[in-house]
Amino acid sequence: MPRNGECQPGAFESSQIRPLTVFTPVATICPDIALEGMTVPSETPALPRLKRVEKSKPARIRNLAIVGVVILAAIALYVTGSGRPQPAPVVPSAGIAGQPDGRIRITNVTDVAFAVSWVSAGPTTGQLRWGSSPSQMTNVTPDIRGASVSSRTHYVVIPSLRPATTYYLEAISGRTVENLNGQPYQVTTGPAIGMPGLPVVLFGQVLAPDGGAPVAGAIIYVRVRDRDGRGTPGDSGELSAITDDDGSWGLDLNARVPDLKGYFAFTETTDEVVVDVEAADKGVASTVLRIATATETEQTITLRPKP
């Protein structure tokens, strides 16, 4: 039956990624905020229900580590994010100004957090300059992998925000500033709507085009899509995560609707997830997966060279 995105009475009386990195990978931060043209994560430190799959010991260890990161990130965000964690972290929703230009993507938008990702022309450091007004963008937050990390892909998570509040930002790659013709991007966090249901964890690993080496720093974008007409129609707000050194990633599928006013209700047995992977010069990938099947086992995604 469709998920309604609400906790059952007494389910989490004291207890959302994201974007690891739910975070990490999940939302990371880990979704849910309204920007004029863009959109982040969920919350809940409950253990996901994954079917037992026979794997090699290293694979089992890696998978347990991914799920553990998602859960620990949710707990940490609950403590530091105004009582609401967000997983790490659709193509931008109507809330994010300027997202359609394709230079940056704002995902995992909730009432207390959002994630920003982009690809630079060459390897460099990445950070986000942001604030509650265009004239007071005094906060600087580095890539979640560290301020000194040089890469073409960049992923920044901004937690501990206020609900229903507009924030302004610029992405900085080395000495290059990304904005809208001199004006900052803006994103508005969603309203506080309580906890989502139990986490539904999607996790996997990204491999190079030859199917060999794991790819670190690949950005995963995920949207939940209605297929049976029984839950929320259309697509959810966009979630995201970034792969670790071993190419692994994971995120909670409890996304918000594009306007951030509620959780996207879906049916695990019939609805789908649309997955896009951006790894700059290392390649890209796109796939559509049935939720029930995709959340049972680790999803291995092999990149293809960019045209």
Instruction: Give the pLDDT band (50/70/90) at residue 8.
Output: very low
Tokens of 287: 């796939």
- Residue 111: the pLDDT is 97
Q: What is the mean pLDDT of the chain?
A: 77
Encode pLDDT of 208-217 as tens digits.
Answer: 998 789 999 9
- Higher-pLDDT residue of 54 and 224 is 224
Q: Which of 29-33, 50-54, 277-281 has the highest mean pLDDT?
A: 277-281
- Residue 66: the pLDDT is 52
- Residue 156: the pLDDT is 98
Peptide bond into 287 cis (omega under 30): no
Nearest to 289 by CA among 272, 306, 266: 272
Encode pLDDT of 222-273 as tens digits.
Answer: 999 999 999 999 999 999 999 999 999 999 999 999 999 999 999 999 999 9
**Stretch 273-283: mean pLDDT, rounded?**
97
What is the Cα 230 distance to its own chain's centre? 25
Task: Determine the Cα angle at 76 with ends 72 and 82, to 5°.
Answer: 145
Cα torsion angle, 121, 126, 132, 137, sign: negative
- Higher-pLDDT residue of 112 and 20 is 112
- Residue 74: the pLDDT is 45
- Higher-pLDDT residue of 48 and 306 is 306
> CA–CA distance from 235 to each of 79, 99, 121, 255 (Å)?
30, 17, 30, 10
Is 241:28 a contact under the CB 8 Å cutoff?
yes
The percent of residues in the chain predicted with pLDDT above 70, rounded, is 66
Instruction: Give the pLDDT band (50/70/90) at residue 38.
Output: very low
* Count of CA atoms in the C-beta half-sphere (13 A) of 256: 42
Peptide bond into 24 cis (omega under 30): yes
In CATH, what is the architecture of 24-307? Answer: Sandwich (2.60)
Dist CA 148 CA 4 (whole Å): 42
Instruction: Give the pLDDT band (50/70/90) at residue 284.
Output: very high
- Residue 14: the pLDDT is 36
- Residue 42: the pLDDT is 39
- Residue 102: the pLDDT is 53
Question: What single letter denotes the amino acid at residue 179?
Answer: N
- Residue 72: the pLDDT is 47
Is 21:248 a contact under the CB 8 Å cutoff?
no
- Residue 62: the pLDDT is 53
What is the Cα 188 distance to its own chain's centre? 16
Encode pLDDT of 137-181 as tens digits.
Answer: 999 999 999 999 999 999 999 999 999 999 999 999 999 999 988
Task: Determine the Cα angle at 148 with ends 145 and 150, to 5°.
Answer: 80
Encode pLDDT of 77-134 as tens digits.
Answer: 443 333 333 333 322 333 344 343 457 999 999 999 999 999 999 999 999 999 999 9
Dist CA 90 CA 201 (whole Å): 17
The pTM for the full model equals: 0.71
Other C-beta atoms closer than 10 Å to the C-beta of 227 total: 14
- Residue 117: the pLDDT is 97
- Higher-pLDDT residue of 257 and 19 is 257
The percent of residues in the chain predicted with pLDDT above 90, rounded, is 63
